[in-house]
Chains A and B, each alone.
Chain A
Amino acid sequence: MIFSTLEHILTHISFSVVSIVITIHFLTLFLLVDEVVGLYDSSEKGMIVTFFCITGLLVTRWIYSGHFPLSDLYESLIFLSWGFSLIHMVSYLKFKKHKNNLSAITAPSAIFTQGFATSGLLTKMHQSAILAPALQSQWLMMHVSMMVLGYAALLCGSLLSVALLVITIRKAIKIIGENNNFAFSFGKIQYMNERSNVLLNTYFLSSKNYYRYQLTQQLDRWSYRIISLGFIFLTIGILSGAVWANEAWGSYWNWDPKETWAFITWTIFAIYFHTRTNTNLEGVNSALVVSMGFLIIWICYFGVNLLGIGLHSYGSFTLN
């Protein structure tokens, strides 16, 4: 009894703290950031509190139910929001010096996933359930945790790239609008990109352009690093899942919908890395690939569960 109330309390604390953090972020956005350093610090502290709350929540659930808290959709959603706050913590601790734009991505993601998990849609699943025989294995910890952490990192990186795309397309629309030329093609964007790069090195067109360029460069690099990390987790997750399947069911690849979509996600991000090797395609095109990857991750994680078929039916649910 005490554990479930503790769980309740922790859930509510983390949810409210994250909403406060997001509110602070929006406020600082509208009040023009730099003056309000004090608020920024408190929002960072808020994210730390959230991290510890969600960790506490997961540990409580683990102790209470006796199995690692990753057996159904509700628990994996909580784990996903934990993954987001973990990414935030790691980047905060590693790069204390310069202000991190990453929290603008991780905090809303954490709150959305947690909000969805705790919302009325999934109330049936809040109780910790018992594990089916096939899930009683040490591999559960490694496979599912790696997959969910991989999803968290890839989602973060994808959102950064989407931000990059939005900024670039808005700039391109502005430039094209200024040139009175309404033909919209990606080659043009690339050309505009290169042109502004060239002009940048000799004279600044405007300080706003320079900062935007810096921002897109930073977003691009951050996105690349985080997606690399997520890709490693995803690879390890898929492969450990295959080994587990071989131990449990006798074959390491069954073309199950969830497995197939995980493989499709992996392929899309492999395409992303390959587009980056060729410098002509870098920048906008790779960001487009990543945006596709964002959608595909959601299909893989959620959409397949809605079907509720196949070997991965543990994660299924019905919307009622």
Chain B
Amino acid sequence: METLLNPSKTPNLFIPKTHLFKLSFLHSNFNPQPHSSFNRRPLSITITCKVKTSQGRKNDGKNISKKIVLTDSAPELSNEEIKAKPKGGGKAWGVIKKFPKRVLAILSNLPLAIGEMFTVAGLMALGTAIDQGESPEYYFLKYPEENPIFGFFTWRWVLTLGFDHMFSSPVFLGTLILLGTSLMACTYTTQIPLVKVARRWSFLQSADSIRKQEFSDTLPQASVSDLGVILMGAGYEVFLKGPSLYAFKGLAGRFAPIGVHLAMLLIMAGGTLSATGSFRGSVTVPQGLNFVMGDVLGPTGFLSTPTEAFNTEVHVNKFYMDYYDSGEVSQFHTDLSLFDMNGKEVMRKTLSVNDPLRYGGITIYQTDWSFSALQILKDGEGPFNLAMAPLTINGDKKLFGTFLPVGDTDSSNVKGISMLARDLQSIVLYDKQGKFAGVRRPNSKLPIEIDGTKIVIVDAIGSSGLDLKTDPGVPAVYAGFGALMLTTCISYLSHAQIWALQDGTTVIVGGKTNRAKAEFPDEMNRLLDQVPEIVESSISKKPDNIGG
């Protein structure tokens, strides 16, 4: 500790007094024991420092390296962008010119960004708590004025602020836009200058500054070039100039946060394009029928423009389902043919749930199914198609039913045979009194006799529930996703920097890292243990200039 304060112990190093002086007062954690050599400068300089330690203060590390660099051309970085613009003529013009800078400075304020993120999170949470997309009467009942939640929250709040459609409401979208602009401002003002700082490799010429790093050690009887070789073996990029050494590893970890922000901006842009420029539609088509894509697709925003592919006609050739042994539905498939305007078949594919059809920018997904009609033979006549209607029961299982009138069809109290089905596999039949009569599968063609009528189930005709979509933003969004995944992984890397100085026969080593602070000392100790000890009394040759 004392060598820090005593300049006479640092030999042979050409350091102007000013730099040394600034050094000692930056690390002002000492009880002021006045050394005579320091009293030549007035103490007004101490006002600029705060009480800081050398641990855990990233900005401090940056400041130290900035001040120590002997190349005089190291300007103040974060203000560079802002102050470098030339002063325009005229005061008003100057004010207008300063305005975007000021806005930029406000937007890239970190607490503001944190506040925006909290707001977004809070609004999203609220959006899940309040039921979305219901009619206004629902909210009148749920949040009545007579009994407000928390004493003030009524349906007025919900409807005026747009909380019933939270995720497309102006409040939410506005906050997202604000967050996006903050992101852009922050990337421009803070992170891009960071690139310049990190890429500039700076040698530390004074042993004191090296000792002040988070991790520092002294190796007696060692040579700095040996250290350089060991570091190169450990994956560092090493630069050696005279007696001093600078090595770093994991520089990508510094740039990756910029990549993260850019990826997020890409995703937001893609999402905006999706929201304003896509087409959506869904249709339930019985087997054997067809539809035209353009009739089904509707635009979602003002940028949506239809393409030539919208004229394609889609024909459902067959719809069928696979079942497990237990009877549950395992998968449903639709065999589709696409025909263009001239009637030529341009595509044929069988869709299933996780396997959509893509044609001309339009994607068709299998999302649902329904029971269209039951084909039966009655007393050998037919086949008759009986339309099946969906019946509502509790739960998400489907149930369909149809009715075959028997006897006098004009009487008001007509009786008949009811047929119910959960899926296309088996049909359950009930007689005129509603009693269970039997189960038949459409493939079996086995007749069943109910109240004197012979019924043969010929076929169960299903209908396919298809969702169609065209989305121009998807490539941008996918690219953003990939970039985000990649850059998030890379930003896990820790940027480690090591400085060393050959001081006679000893080497003074110091280092710091921005992320892996827990493991860094161990890694450094392991590396330093490998540096060979020089047993001879003199180090005669000068270390060569080795580039990493």
Q: Chain A: residues with CB nearer than 8 A to chain B?
A: 95, 97, 130, 133-134, 136-137, 139, 194, 197-198, 201-202, 217-218, 221-222, 224-225, 228-229, 231-232, 235-236, 239, 242-243, 246-253, 255, 257, 260-261, 263-264, 267-268, 270-271, 274-275, 277-279, 282, 304
Contact = CB atoms under 8 A, between A and B. Distances in A.
Interface of B: 29-31, 51, 53, 55-60, 110, 113-114, 117-118, 120-121, 124-125, 127-128, 132, 167, 271, 280, 324, 326, 328-332, 352-354, 356, 363, 365, 367, 467, 469, 471, 474, 477-478, 481, 484-485, 488-489, 492, 515-519, 522
25 contacts: A133-B330, A133-B332, A134-B354, A136-B331, A197-B53, A197-B55, A198-B29, A224-B517, A228-B492, A231-B488, A235-B485, A236-B488, A247-B354, A248-B353, A248-B354, A251-B469, A255-B167, A261-B125, A264-B121, A264-B124, A267-B121, A271-B117, A271-B121, A274-B117, A282-B56
B191 to A, nearest CB: 11
B522 A97 contact: yes
A148 to B, nearest CB: 17
Contacts of A268: 121
Contacts of B354: 133-134, 136-137, 139, 247-248
Given A136-B331, A263-B124, A130 B324 contact: yes
Contacts of B489: 232
B64 to A, nearest CB: 14
Nearest to B54: A201
Contact of A274 (B114, B128, B518): B114
A246 B474 CA distance: 9
Given A136-B331, A136-B353, A250-B363, A260 B124 contact: yes
Contact of A194 (B51, B60, B517): B51
Contacts of B516: 225
Given A228-B492, A239-B481, A274-B114, A249 B365 contact: yes
Contact of B485 (A194, A201, A239, A274): A239
Contact of B492 (A229, A243, A304): A229
Contacts of A130: 324, 326, 328, 330
Contact of A247 (B114, B356, B467): B356
A311 to B, nearest CB: 11
A299 to B, nearest CB: 8
A167 to B, nearest CB: 17
Contacts of A218: 518
Contacts of A225: 515-516, 518-519
Given A130-B324, A224-B515, A239-B485, A279 B121 contact: no
Nearest to A263: B124
B110 A278 contact: yes
A252 B128 CA distance: 18
Contacts of B328: 130
A187 B352 CA distance: 59
Contact of B113 (A95, A250, A274): A274
Contacts of B117: 267, 270-271, 274
B488 A232 contact: yes
B125 A264 contact: yes
Given A248-B353, A252-B477, A275 B114 contact: yes
Contacts of A242: 481
A133 B352 contact: yes
B128 A260 contact: yes
B469 A277 contact: no
Given A274-B114, A279-B59, 12 more contacts: A95-B522, A198-B51, A217-B56, A221-B518, A224-B517, A232-B489, A236-B488, A239-B481, A246-B474, A249-B467, A277-B58, A279-B57
Contact of A201 (B53, B471, B515): B53
Contact of B484 (A221, A239, A253, A264): A239
Given A243-B481, A271-B114, A228 B124 contact: no
Contacts of B124: 260-261, 263-264, 267
B515 A228 contact: yes
Contacts of B477: 252
A133 B331 contact: yes
A231 B488 CA distance: 8
A7 B190 CA distance: 54
A131 to B, nearest CB: 8
